[in-house]
Each structure stands twice: as C-alpha cells, then as structure tokens.
Structure 1
Amino acid sequence: MFYNILKVLIFIHPICGFVFDGRFKHLVKEVTSLIQFGPPVHETKWLEQKLDHFDDNENRKWKMQYFKRNDFWKPNGPVILFIGGEAAASPGFLYGGMAYELAKETNGVIFASEHRYYGKSVPLKFNTVDDFKYLSARQSLADNAHLIRTIKLNPLYSKAKIVVIGGTYSGNLAAWMRLLYPELVDAAVASSAPVLAKKDFYEYLEKVNDVYEKYGTNDCLAKIKDKFKRYETLLESQDGIEQLKKEENICPDTDLSVPENKQTFFLTKTSEFMGEVQYGRVDDIKYRCEHFNETIESQLDVEPNLWREESQCHDYDFNRMVDYSYKNKSSFIACWTYQTCTEFGYFQSSTSSKQPFTNNIPVDYYVKLCMKAFGSEFNDTRVDNGINKVNDIYEGLHPNVTKVVFVNGDMDPWSTIGILEDVSHDAPAIIIPRASHCRDLVVSHNDEVELQEAVKHIKDLIKKWIGVGEFI
C-alpha cells in the first residue's frame, strides 16, 4: 500500500535508506536466515542509556537491546561489535557474515547492538515530532561508546582489542566510532558507507545508468529511456493521463496533474531499476534487460505493487501516502526519514542528464516530504543546516582516521558518496568488482572469487591492526 512508496523513498540506505529502505534492513533479513535450528548460542541483553548523552541535566533513561555470543572466546581474543543501523537488530549477525567469521577466526566474543528508536530500543513513545529530538548519529555513537565501556568492565574483556563493523549507514557509524572514540575502538570496517551527507544526491541515478550500460543488454538503456519518456509524454495531457491510468491500473481518483503525485509515480517506477542495481548481481541486471516488459520481483524487500487495498488499484497520491505511512511514527520509515531530513539528505534526484529516467524527481519533492511528515520547520534551511553540521563533525570524504577499511562495490550507487581512495596507508579503500551494496558483509562460497578475496583481505587487515593470528 502507501507503505511501499515510503520504503522506496527511504531506500536511500546507509541503505542501505533517502531512497534507502535501509540496506541494513535487507542485511538483517539475510543474516537472520543463517541462524540454525536448535538451541540458540547467543544472549539477548539490555543496557540502560541516557536519553541525551550531551546534557548533564538530563536524567531520563531508557534500555537498549543488544546481543552477545561468546562460545568462540579464548583469552586475548578481541571484542567484535556489529553496530546497529536503520532497522531492528538481529542476532543473525552472530551466526554468519564478516563479524561472525572474524570472531571465529580470532577467538573473539561478538556483540550486535540495536540503534536507538529502531526495533525494541525505543527511548520515547513517539507522541509528537519532538519525541524524535534524540534520534541522531551522534547520540547513537555515544550509545555504542557506553556499550563498549560496559563490555570492558568485565575482567575477561578489559584488555581486549575492540573491532567495530557496520554496513550502509551503520558503516558510517563504524568509521565515526573510530574517529570520535579512538581510545575505545582499535579498528573498524565501514562497508558501503555513504559518509558524505548530500542534499541533491543526483549521482545515485547516474550510477544506475552506468551499471545498466555496462552489464545490461545493448538496447537496455534505450528501452528504459523510451519507457520513461513515454510516461512523461502521457502525463502532459488529460487524455494521456487517462490512458496511463488504464495501462498501469492507477486509481481513478489519483490526480496525476498534481506535481507531487506525478513525482511519486516516477520515483516508484524508477525504484524498480534502483533496487536491481543496489541489491543485485550482474546476472540480475542482464536478466531484467532480457525480460524488460515482464513483471520481475524487485530486489527491494517491499510489496511488488502499490495497491489501494479496498479497490485493488495503484495509488500515487502524495498526501495520502504520507498521511498513511506516518500514522505509525514508530516505524523505521518515519525514523529513517527523520534522520535524512535532519542529518543526511541523501535525496536521490533525477536532476542529472546522465540517467535515463527523465527529470521528474526533484530535490524539492523530498523537502516537501520532510515538511509534510514532520512540520513546516523541516524546510530547506533545516535540511541544509543538518547536512552541513554532519559534514563538519565527521569530516565527509576526508576523515582523519587510521585503522579503518572503507569497502565499496563498484556496482553500488551509494559508493558515489563513499570513500573510494585511500585516506592513508592505515585507512585504505577497497573497491570490489561486480559487487553491490554491502555485499562483503555476508558472503557465500558461491560468490565470485574477487568478492571472496576482498573479504579475506579485509579480515587480514583487521587481524594485523589488532595483532592476532599470523600477524602477531
């Protein structure tokens, strides 16, 4: 229903959502499937946190959920912390993927934290927009710092090296933990981390264009351009709108002469191609091109169609979509959108001419979403100020860090605002050929050799930096 469009909007999105439905949410689903049947070997734990870490007069507290697994632990092993992102956390990260493998190979204890306001780690009840006030990367980083300090109070781990790992937005957090808390964090993996906050994220669709050009069939980009140009032409007249409504089963009362409704339609149609690139593999791109006019299940974890349930038609009404989606303000949709409106931007526009989807997704569309969802004060100025503050605090594409490895797949649209060149000898950038968003965090033996070799290299770097295994 309308939920689908908001998931598209925050498919920003980390992500990875900000058309970012949160790749983190996608990762959670993937790793949860790794948990084997039988007695669990992890503990679910809760840690009291301050509501506001930066106000000495704030006495309110809440409890953050986190998970622990220590059956690999041996003395002198490290602490591996998988940092939670823009979705409910999962103990699945303790059963498979890079964090699990590192813990197993280094005799480490492994933890997974949950980000405040997501999942069960809810500080406030979301009665008003003001209750979102304490939702920010800075507060989340302080939560994880408190968690690490608490872990190190245990004599078993008091001298252990600390490794943090994250993907998409939580990849940002992993790098920023090392930046802001170097005395607590010894090494970090920042996977597919869009560390540069940016309002007009036009580069996203440029990368989608490049991937279809490189890996699609010869005529695929031309077909996409023709399809979207035809949408644009039909929407220029009332007769064309009526024809489009019949072809796409759009609800009769959806007024496609309203700019925001038209833009919602274009964003929804574009997201089908965005999802294949962000989450897919090379073969997925080719398959979509070869079956261009067929309905293909999206890589996005969303309903395949935007139905209005009572009439079984597609509704692209912007106001109804936002009103419906934000009735439940505790949803990850509302929380992540709030963060994009107040911190990151990540507004995936179609303002570039180097993409095939026409120019019908303006930056202003997302700003209107912020204002409609949270109030008129969440305007351009509020968005710009938040972005500038984030880039000032965390230093954008040039953070002064060491012992952080920045990993990106060369197919990933988010890589265009990530770190693609070495920051320093001890803060390298790794680009994985034919890899999509956060692909390195959960790798199987069936994945391409380049991906498996990159993951081995990442783990070797971490082992070297913390002095374990063959690197002692």
Structure 2
Amino acid sequence: MIQKILLLLFVTSSAFGSLNGPFSPKSRLLPAAGTTDAEQLWHTQIVDHSRPLDTRTFSQRYFMTKDHYVQGGPIFLFLDGEWDATGNYISNTSFVGQMAARLNGALFELEHRYYGLSQPIGDLETESLLYLSIDQALADAADFALKMNEIHNFTGPWIVCGTSYSGMIAGFARQKYSHVFHAAYSSSGQQEAKVDFFEYHEMTGVGLAKVNPLCPGYLSAAMDEMVALISSQQPASLQYVSTAFNLCPESDLTLLTDARYLYALVANLYGAVVQFAFPGMISAECDKLMDGTGTPLLNLAEVVKQAYPNICLNVHYDDLMEFYRNSTAVAPGNNYRQYIYQTCTELGWFFTLSGNSPFGNVVPVEYFIDSCADVLGEQFSQAILEAGVARTNLEYGGKIPDVTRAIFTHGSFDGWTKVAAEADINADAPVIVIQDVGHAAEQFFFENDPPQLIAARERVELTIAQWISQFNQSF
C-alpha cells in the first residue's frame, strides 16, 4: 500500500524527493496518470507584475477544453500547484471536469510559474527565483482570465479552483481579485503559513489510532529503539540500524543530520498513508508493521525497505543538499528547488518531529531552517522566513480570511486541516470536513467511493451552481 502512495508523490529512485529528508514540507497528490482530453496551449505571461516598466514575458502553459461550453456559461480555472501541469484536473475523468460539463462551463488549467515548463527566467539560481511568490502567481491567474475573456468573448462568471497549495491560491485569488473571480473552490487547501508545523505528524498519530488504537504505540516503540541505538553512537548499534534499513554506504549515522534525515523519512512515509487514507490503507499498513516476525524496529525497517525496493536508502544529508543546490536542472518533473524556495520565504510548513506524535521529539525546526541556508544561501535565515510567513498571514488572513463565495473541503484524516479553517468561515464561505477520507479525496473517482465523499461533491456542485445563478441574475 505504501508503494501505491509513493506512485502518487514526487519521489525519485535515488530516494531524493519531497517525501524524504529535511525538505519534506508537503506530500503532494498528483493527477491520475493517463492522457487528458484538454488541449495544451501557451499564454504570454508577464515576468514581474509589480513593475510596469519591466516588459519581459515568458510562455506559461495551460490546458483548455470547451467541449460542453454554452455561450454565457461559467468558466472554470483550475490553478496547478508545485507540479507539472497535465490537463488531468480538468479532464472528463476529474470531478471539476465533470462538474463544469454539467454546468455548461469552459475549462482551463493553468501551470504555476516556475513549475513544469512555465519558466520565467530559464534557470533556478537563487536570484532567478525572485519572481516566484504567491503574489506573482495570483497576478498570473487574474491576467490569464482577463486575456481569455478577450480571446473567447466570455461573459460568464469565472470560478477559480485548486487543490492543496493551489487550493490555497484559489482562495487567495477570490480574495484579492474578487472583481475577476466570481467564486472559488478550494480542495484541501491550506490557509495559514506556519514555520513549525508539528501538528501534521500529531495528526498522523491521531489517524493511525482511529483505525488501530495499538498502531501508534507500536510505531513509537520502533522509533524509540532506533533513536536509542543511534544515540548510543556505538559502531555495532549504528551498523545494526544501517543494515536493517539497507542504508547506502554514503549514509553516516554518526552525523546528527543524517540521523534526522532517517527519522523524517520514516515519519513522512506514515504521514502520507494517513494524509491520503485510501480505503483500507491505514489498517493494512498497521497490520504489516505489527504482524511482522521481528522486533518493532526490524518490522519498521521491513516496511521502509518494501517502500523503496531494489535500492539502498541514501540518507546522507550532504548529498541531498547538493541535489537541491542544482540550479540548472530545469526539466519536467524536477520541481523541488522551486518549492523549497517558497517554503523558505513565505510558507514554512516544515513537518517537524517536535510535538506529541508517535515519532518522538527528534527533528526540530532548526533542522529545516538550516537546510534553507544550505540550499539557497546563508541569507535565508530564520528571521527572513518568519517575516515572510507573517506577511503571508497578514496579507490573506490565515485561518480567518475575509472572503465570500468560496467553498473549502478537507478530509478528516488530513493533517493539513491544522493550517486551514475547520469550520465555516462565514455564511458565504462554507467549510466541508469529509469524515474518514484524506487529502483532496474528491478530486478523482475511485471504486466504492464512500457516501460522505459523494455527498461532499454534490454539495460543492450545488453551492457553485447557486453562485453561478446569482451572477446570471445580476445581469
């Protein structure tokens, strides 16, 4: 089951990626694999929306389908996040795609600047990432919508949508450009930037316990055993752990950074299981852990090795930093450095192991902050990050944004709910918490979708249809 999760995440065969190491601030759900019925196109976008005298532009990728559009109907804009755009979020197999078809809408999916093929500068040097920000991405969305109105003679309401980080952006777009976007739909979107996001793995423990009350304690026993062996710094103990987890020769558990890398990797594997919580997944992973024939630590090591089969596990911090420092590898699927820049300047969201989780207090926030400087430059300090996070929350209101005609959904298993509103923001900004499902669960369809998930989709569509009707009545 963990291997199924890994197929949906940005993870590479060398064990570098968003799930592992110091930069594991997000576990990200990708669109379902396969082709899309949407057409790939390009929009000439402004590099810097804040300086009118800067006339530079770049090509921003987008996808479009108007198969079910009726003149005067709504226009759905799905904003992509920190991934390559595929068009699948607006395909006829997606919830947004099917909803738009029923509402006679046109559909667009816009790739986020600096991700995928939408590269404003052409390299990822730290100074070249200056134009990577929430503000610039929001201006991209507004500019795109206005240009599409001119090209296609649209007169209907724009509905901006997104999921996870892009769900956050969708809600912000409705706030900042309410004259452009009539309504917003945010699926599992965050709202609050936060440096030390210890609550994420607290929720991992809560989710495990809800399905199997014995599972968190067993996991804690395995972690305690591992931490004790590594903390002893005895060569035999370090070799025992290295052999159990099949660590690569480069990995050096005498280094605190490498040990913390391993702790974070283990925590994020289980964090992903709970975050996405496909039916039966949590119970299956707990059973696999607890039904093993070895000690808790050895059983945990077997689970990790099954998640990364046929390779040794490189948890050498310096190798990871070198991988992330590569500023020239602008290629499809390589979106790590860009996202690191955002987390280190305006988002935070570091999955620390510093709260009441099954994994102990073994990875403090300083580990992540030091990594910002190691990747991007020594100027990326804790003070810079805290100022950027404070600005994000001041600008957009954190968990209590001043927004209307925006609907938010969250799965009750999803740790990201702890940086989002968990109850209605106001009468015109409802929050739907879908019980016993995970992150962005309603975006794509699975066999035997539970009734609460189906009901949530119906409520989202009914609410958006009502807002579209209000727009039409005003004209």
One-letter amino acid matched to 1:334:
R
What is the deviation of 1:368?
Answer: 1.5
Cα distance in 2 between the residues matched to 1:468 and 1:104: 19
Match of residue 150 from structure 2 = 153
Cα separation, partners in 2 of 1:364 and 1:4, compared to 1, 3 Å: same
Match of residue 22 from structure 1 = 28
Match of residue 239 from structure 2 = 242
Match of residue 322 from structure 1 = 321
Match of residue 278 from structure 2 = 281
Which of 167, 176, 181 aligns to 2:163? It is: 167
Match of residue 420 from structure 1 = 422
Cα distance in 2 between the residues matched to 1:401 and 1:455: 21
Match of residue 15 from structure 1 = none
Contact 2:197–2:350 (8 Å) recurs in 1: yes
One-letter amino acid matched to 1:399:
P
Does structure 1 residue 68 correspond to structure 2 residue 71?
A: no
Aligned residue runs from structure 1 range 56-455, under 5 A: 56-95=52-91, 96-126=93-123, 128-154=125-151, 156-157=153-154, 159-216=155-212, 218-237=213-232, 238=234, 239-292=236-289, 293=292, 304-305=307-308, 313-327=312-326, 329-330=329-330, 331-352=334-355, 354-444=356-446, 446-455=448-457
- Per-residue CA shift, 1:234-272, capped at 9, x if unaligned? 002223112212222223443212111110010111111
One-letter amino acid matched to 2:445:
V
Cα separation, partners in 2 of 1:53 and 1:471, compared to 1, 3 Å: closer
Cα separation, partners in 2 of 1:130 and 1:340, compared to 1, 3 Å: same
What is the deviation of 1:10?
Answer: 8.5
Contact 1:46–1:64 (8 Å) recurs in 2: yes
Cα distance in 1 between the residues matched to 2:99 and 2:21: 31
Cα distance in 2 between the residues matched to 1:456 and 1:124: 42
Cα distance in 1 between the residues matched to 2:431 and 2:100: 23
- Per-residue CA shift, 1:147-186, capped at 9, x if unaligned? 10011114541x2111011000000111001000000001
Cα distance in 1 between the residues matched to 2:375 and 2:113: 20
- Per-residue CA shift, 1:164-212, capped at 9, x if unaligned? 1100000011100100000000111111111100001011011001001
One-letter amino acid matched to 1:245:
S
Contact 2:164–2:188 (8 Å) recurs in 1: yes
- Per-residue CA shift, 1:34-67, capped at 9, x if unaligned? 64xxxx4x32211111110001221211110101
Match of residue 3 from structure 2 = none
What is the deviation of 1:127?
Answer: 5.4
What is the deviation of 1:425?
Answer: 0.5
Cα distance in 1 between the residues matched to 2:78 and 2:122: 26
One-letter amino acid matched to 1:225:
S
- Per-residue CA shift, 1:355-383, capped at 9, x if unaligned? 11011111111112111110001110111
One-letter amino acid matched to 1:33:
G
TM-score, structure 2 length as denominator? 0.89
Cα separation, partners in 2 of 1:43 and 1:281, compared to 1, 3 Å: closer
Cα distance in 1 between the residues matched to 2:402 and 2:315: 44
Contact 2:19–2:269 (8 Å) recurs in 1: no
Cα distance in 1 between the residues matched to 2:451 and 2:54: 51
Cα distance in 2 between the residues matched to 1:403 and 1:153: 24
Cα distance in 1 between the residues matched to 2:372 and 2:56: 28
Contact 2:22–2:368 (8 Å) recurs in 1: no
Contact 2:247–2:313 (8 Å) recurs in 1: yes
Cα separation, partners in 2 of 1:4 and 1:84, compared to 1, 3 Å: same
Contact 2:434–2:456 (8 Å) recurs in 1: yes
What is the deviation of 1:445?
Answer: 5.5
One-letter amino acid matched to 1:126:
D
One-letter amino acid matched to 2:314:
D
Contact 1:50–1:59 (8 Å) recurs in 2: yes
Match of residue 34 from structure 2 = 33
Contact 1:2–1:324 (8 Å) recurs in 2: no
Give the match's secondary structure for 2:170.
helix
Computed over aligned residues only, the root mean square deviation of the Cα atoms, in angstroms, reads 2.5
Cα distance in 2 between the residues matched to 1:471 and 1:439: 33
Contact 2:77–2:159 (8 Å) recurs in 1: yes
Cα distance in 1 between the residues matched to 2:447 and 2:471: 23
Contact 1:65–1:120 (8 Å) recurs in 2: yes
Give the match's secondary structure for 1:7.
coil
Cα distance in 2 between the residues matched to 1:370 and 1:133: 15
Contact 1:2–1:321 (8 Å) recurs in 2: no
One-letter amino acid matched to 2:54:
E
- Per-residue CA shift, 1:369-407, capped at 9, x if unaligned? 111110001110111111011111111011111000011
TM-score, structure 1 length as denominator? 0.89
Contact 1:248–1:314 (8 Å) recurs in 2: yes
What is the deviation of 1:468?
Answer: 7.9
Match of residue 6 from structure 1 = 17
Cα distance in 1 between the residues matched to 2:128 and 2:225: 44
Cα distance in 2 between the residues matched to 1:360 and 1:419: 29
Contact 1:174–1:189 (8 Å) recurs in 2: yes
Contact 2:124–2:337 (8 Å) recurs in 1: no
Quick check: 393-402 or 288-297, which moved more?
A: 288-297
What is the deviation of 1:438?
Answer: 0.6
One-letter amino acid matched to 1:66:
Y
What is the deviation of 1:20?
Answer: 1.1
Contact 1:2–1:325 (8 Å) recurs in 2: no
Give the match's secondary structure for 1:47.
strand
Cα distance in 1 between the residues matched to 2:101 and 2:360: 49
Quick check: 274-283 or 424-433, which moved more?
A: 274-283
Cα distance in 2 between the residues matched to 1:276 and 1:85: 21
Cα separation, partners in 2 of 1:141 and 1:10, compared to 1, 3 Å: farther
Aligned residue runs from structure 1 range 34-53, under 5 A: 35=36, 40=37, 42-53=38-49
What is the deviation of 1:454?
Answer: 0.7
Give the match's secondary structure for 1:372.
helix
What is the deviation of 1:4?
Answer: 2.7
What is the deviation of 1:98?
Answer: 2.2
What is the deviation of 1:282?
Answer: 4.5
